[in-house]
Structure 1
Amino acid sequence: MEKTPMSLTAILTLFLLLSTLAASSPTTTTDDAQSVYKAIQDFNFPVGLLPKGALGYELDRSNGKFSAFLNGSCSFSLEGSYDLKYKSTISGYISENRLTNLSGISVKVLFLWLDIVEVVRDGDQLEFSVGIASASFPIDSFYDSPQCGCGFDCDNGQVRKFKFNPFVSSM
């Protein structure tokens, strides 16, 4: 059987067909854990918005829809002030300096758990919105990622047992 080279017309037709398919389907990026932190930095956010140990992510660059994946749910306290919960999948829409329609992250305010629905970067501040209220924090508080279970109060992956309590005498 003799092989014949593809005609120029066939090559051009195939090229046009593949180009049309590529242009009509959204560009989705799926990558490993190291890249999820790089991906949020590409949109001008610090890595500390996600806890350590993210497994990967998906990002549709045509509309900014994203999902980040953790190894199960995750919770921790920050400086004794805020309790946070992350579901195993965090999703929403990401663009330069803005995360919207978030799902999968909750914060405890007084006795209520409220979903964080939006994060906006404004200069050196990050504004977190729970829909009915928002709070701003300095961006340098988010340069490091907290660890599930112990936040930033960890020693070798274990929760520190000693905590200063101003209401207990140290005598």
Structure 2
Amino acid sequence: MALNPSAAIPISLLLLLILLQSSLATSFPLTVTDDAPSAYEVLQGYNFPAGILPKGVVKYDLDESTGRFHAYLNGTCSFSLEGSYQLKYKSTISGIISNKKLKDLSGISVKVFFLWLNIVEVTRDDDELGFSVGIASASFPIDNFYECPQCGCGLDCVNGEVSKLRVKSSFASI
């Protein structure tokens, strides 16, 4: 039985589409792989501890040529550290990252006395992290930041208590 020439065109188009689709699927997979490092791993690659970000970063983007980044949380996040500070993170945190330096930060603020001040820069100097609010800065031992705080309860969520942050020098001079 001979194939009708007018029927052969749709069949050949269908075969071409199937071939093209399978070729594109292997060249450009549509699923996102888990091979990309997490935001916390990226921080560590720039010599920062993961704990300067709270748990719950759902995604991030980073322009490696400029260091410009955005980290995204499910929503705003706040917590207190006993005897120290209250911190607030907006749902989007942005800035420029380089080795041992975060600058032009937006989306993170700290309560000093009765004022909420934006943290604009974080630097690492050996085993200390310096946080700047523009007009003042404070230094903390880096081991305070090995664990990521959790929104609502900070570093000790199991017992419902907040952890005390060891301070090298504080914002108290403001």
Give TM-score, length-normalised by structure 2. 0.70
Which consecutive unaligned segments of at least 5 residues does structure 2 have? Answer: 1-33, 163-174
In structure 2, what is the equivalent of residue 60 of structure 1?
63
Judged with a 3 Å threshold, the aligned counterparts in structure 2 of structure 1 residues 144 and 95 are, in CA distance, closer, same or farther, namely same
The answer as to 2:56 corresponding to 1:37 is no
In structure 1, what is the equivalent of residue 169 of structure 2?
none
Alignment of 1:1-171 (within 5 A): 35-155=38-158, 159-160=160-161
Query: Offset of 1:46 from its aligned partner?
Result: 0.2
Query: Offset of 1:80 from its aligned partner?
Result: 3.5
Alpha-carbon deviations, 1:135-160, whole Å to 9, x = none?
000000000000000001311xx734
RMSD of aligned Cα (Å):
1.9
In structure 2, what is the equivalent of residue 20 of structure 1?
none
Query: Offset of 1:49 from its aligned partner?
Result: 0.4
Which protein has the bigger strand share? 1
In structure 2, what is the equivalent of residue 13 of structure 1?
none
Larger Rg: 2
Query: Offset of 1:34 from its aligned partner?
Result: 6.2
Query: Offset of 1:56 from its aligned partner?
Result: 1.3
CA separation in 2, counterparts of 1:64 and 1:129?
19
CA separation in 2, counterparts of 1:154 and 1:32?
30
CA separation in 1, counterparts of 2:85 and 2:35?
29
Identity of aligned residues (%): 68
SS for the counterpart of 2:57 is coil
- Number of equivalences: 129
CA separation in 2, counterparts of 1:160 and 1:95?
34
Alpha-carbon deviations, 1:61-84, whole Å to 9, x = none?
110000011110000001242000
Which consecutive unaligned segments of at least 5 residues does structure 1 have? Answer: 1-30, 162-171
CA separation in 2, counterparts of 1:111 and 1:32?
44
Alpha-carbon deviations, 1:83-131, whole Å to 9, x = none?
0000000000000000000000000000000000000000000000000
